[in-house]
Structure 1
Amino acid sequence: MQEKYWYYMVQVKSSIFYLDIYAERSYKWDRRINAYGAIASSSSIAAWAIWKDFSYIWAVIIAISQVLTAIKEYFPFGKRLKILRPFIEEMKMLYIKMEYDWYKVANGELTESEINTLLFSYKKEVTNIEGKYLNEEILLENKDYLKEADDRTDRYFETNF
C-alpha cells in the first residue's frame, strides 16, 4: 500500500507540472494575441500615413487585428487561464498535504488500512477539484507537455527524495 501511495503522489505532482505547462503555453498565446492587437492598432495608423504606397498592407494588418480582437473570447487561451490558475493552486495545496503525509506512510507509522483510507481521501479530493474546474473546459492531451511534465517530475523527485 505504501508503494501505491507513492505512485499516486508522483502522479499528482506530474499532473501539477502538466497543468503548469498548459497554463504557461496558454498565457504565451494569450499575450501574443494581445500584443499583436495592440501593436497593430497603434502602429498601423502611423505607418499608413507614412507609407501610403503600402496602405493596403496596413489595412490588412488592421483588419486582422480587428478580427482577432473580435474572436479572441472564443480562443481557449484566456478561458483556460481563468480556470487553470485556481485549479493549479488547489492541486498544489493538496500535493503539499500528500507529501507531508508521505513521511508517516514511509516510516511505517500507518497501517495498510490507514494508508488506504488516506489514499482514498486524496483521490476523492483530486476528483472533486477536477470536477470543480474542468466541468466545462476540456484540456486536450498534449504529448509534448506530458513529456516535459514527466521530465520535471523526474528532476523534482531526484532532487527532493
Structure 2
Amino acid sequence: MQEKYWNYMVQIKAWTFYLDIYAEDSYKWDRRINIYGAIASSSSIAAWTIWRNWSFIWAAIIAISQVLTAIKQYLPFGRRLKYLQPFIEDMKLLYLKMEYDWYKVAAGELSETEINGLLYSYKKEYSGIESKYLKEEILVENVKYKNKADIKTEGYFKNNF
C-alpha cells in the first residue's frame, strides 16, 4: 500500500508540473497575440505612409490583426489561464498534504487500512479539484509538455527524496 501511495503522490506532482507547463505555454501564446495586435494596430498606419510600394503587405498585417482581435475570445490560450492558475494552486496544496502524510506512511506509522483511507481521501479530493476546473474545458494532451513534466518530476524527487 505504501507503493500505491508513493506512486499516486508522484503522479499528482507530475500532473502539477504538466499543468504549470501548459499554463506557461498558454500565457506565451496569449501574450504573442496581444503584442502582435498592438504592434500591428499602432505601427501599420505609420508604416503604410512610409512604404507605399508595399502597401499590400501592411494591408495584410492590418487584416490579420483585425481577424485575431475578432477571434481572440474564441482562442483557448486566454481562457485556459483563467482556470489553470487556480487549478495549479489547488493541485500544489493537494500535493503538499500528500507529501506531509508520506512521512507517516513511509515510517510505518499507519496501517494498510489507514493508508488506503488516506489514499482514497486524496483521490476523492483530486477528483473534486479536477471536476471544478475542467468541468467545461478540455486540455488536449500534449506529449511535449508531458515529457518536460516527467523530467521535472524526476529531478524533483531525485533532489528531495
TM-score (ref. length: structure 2): 0.99
State yes or no: 1:71 paired with 2:71.
Answer: yes
The CA deviation at 1:77 is: 0.5
**Equivalent residue for 2:40?**
40
**Equivalent residue for 1:28?**
28
**Equivalent residue for 2:10?**
10
Structure 1: distance between partners of 2:6 and 2:79: 33
Structure 1: distance between partners of 2:81 and 2:42: 26
Structure 1: distance between partners of 2:149 and 2:86: 19
Structure 2: distance between partners of 1:97 and 1:152: 20
Q: Which moved more, 1:85-94 or 1:46-55?
A: 46-55
Residues 103-131 of structure 1: per-residue CA shift (max 9 Å, x gap): 11110111111100000000000000000
Kindly report which structure 2 residues correspond to 1:1-161, keeping only aligned pairs within 5 A, or say none. 1-161=1-161
The CA deviation at 1:155 is: 0.3
Structure 2: distance between partners of 1:121 and 1:154: 25
Structure 1: distance between partners of 2:68 and 2:113: 56
The CA deviation at 1:59 is: 1.1
Give me the CA root mean square deviation.
0.6
SS class of match (1:158): helix
Structure 2: distance between partners of 1:10 and 1:136: 26
Structure 1: distance between partners of 2:86 and 2:46: 41
The percentage of aligned residue pairs carrying the same residue is: 73
SS class of match (1:109): coil
SS class of match (2:79): helix
SS class of match (1:138): coil
The CA deviation at 1:50 is: 1.1
Code of the aligned partner of 1:52: R
Code of the aligned partner of 1:98: M
TM-score (ref. length: structure 1): 0.99
